Amino acid sequence: MSYGESGLGASRSETDYHWADSGPELFIGDPEMQRTLIDIAGFVSLDRLQNNFSQTEAGRRLATMRRFSKKYQPENYPDSLWIKYLGVQASDLAHGQYTMQQGDQLLAFEPPSTTNKDIASVQRFLFGVANLTHDWGESDPEVDDVIFGDPKPNRAKERQVRSALAEHALRQACEDAGIISQIYPNLDQAISFITDWSDHIAFDKPHFSLLTELGGIIPEEYYQHLYRANKYLGHFVVALRADRVINEQPEFKQAAMKDVYQRLSLEVTHNSLPVLLEYADTFPGIEAFLQGNLEAIDKLVRSNMRVFGPETVNYNDEYDRPLSLKELRYLWLNYKQRSKT
């Protein structure tokens, strides 16, 4: 599902939130390093990065993995149908590229952080790398795909594997683009910087409690929050899609599979929609998505209330506690009321 399909329009150029000082340090005192980063951002294709990774053993393993499947997909249910109904995000390999493209669209709603187009392109590239590669570490058999709410005992291993795979793919993509150490003496340092920065954005959690309690975020954590908003937006798109196919596809007259998709939609909504509601005032792209899908979200919340009951509880990663359906409905109704004023 693209933003256009979901009701997002043109980007908003002005907002009360400015983040000129929240971007990564781009070696302002080191013009040679800055040139290296600018040329990497200008000439290295993130699609090529994805293609290079997909040709590796880790990439091929990730291509065989299905998101949400461990918790929801019945044992004999075909992978082809799982992807058909949930979309490309049900594929672990395709999910990274989808997240990257969605993040680029989300970033387009943000006001420019700088008038320097070269630095802006580096910021965009760095954010794209974080979104594209965030799940690459799950290709390691010791890590594997971990669904929300479940313990993540191999998180350190996941970070280590992701960074190594990202660095390797970056090095190969730079070479493909003619960016080599003989011309760029700081190339190794630049690749390490990109790898470390994307690791920090994807794995170090920002202070979500400040957002819920004070209604704002720490500027230094801007990209971490934007990354997480993008992550939960992708999750929620899957929940909306699952709810839609239940009501539109004749195959779902079969009660067993209907129940599977209903439970997936309920629990993913529980884990994502409350977070998006919190981010709506901070990120105009999230606000535009919610406004463009008011009717569909209304139907989803009402359907969950009707099927599962208001006292049903499910875990939420950011609140770090269970939320009841009654509480979720209150948050949604409160958002709708607030958005009318």
Residues 284-319 pLDDT 10s: 999 999 999 999 999 999 988 898 998 999 888 888
User: For residue 200, what are the contacts with CB-CB under 8 A and spacing of at least 6?
Assistant: 224
Domain-wise residue ranges, the chain = 25-73+90-204, 211-340
DSSP string, 178-194: T--TTT-TTHHHHHHHH
Predicted pLDDT of residue 19? 31
Task: Give 246's contacts (C-beta < 8 A, 6+ positions apart).
Answer: 252, 258, 261, 262, 265
Listed in sequence order, the DSSP H helices in the chain are: 3-6, 31-43, 46-54, 57-63, 69-72, 79-86, 92-108, 117-133, 155-176, 187-203, 208-214, 222-248, 255-279, 284-292, 294-308, 325-340
Give the model's confidence band at 254: pLDDT under 50 very low, under 70 low, under 90 confident, else very high: low
The model's pLDDT over 21-63, given as tens digits with 9 standing for 90+, comes to 445 555 556 888 889 999 999 999 999 999 999 999 999 999 9
Angle at 114 between CA 111 and CA 117, to 5 degrees: 105
Average pLDDT over residues 194-207: 93
Q: pLDDT at position 144, please? A: 81
Q: How far is CA 164 from CA 58, 119, 191, 256, in A?
A: 11, 25, 11, 42
Helix ranges restricted to H, 55-154: 57-63, 69-72, 79-86, 92-108, 117-133
Q: Which residues contact 318 (CB under 8 A, 6 or more apart)?
A: 208, 228, 232, 274, 275, 278
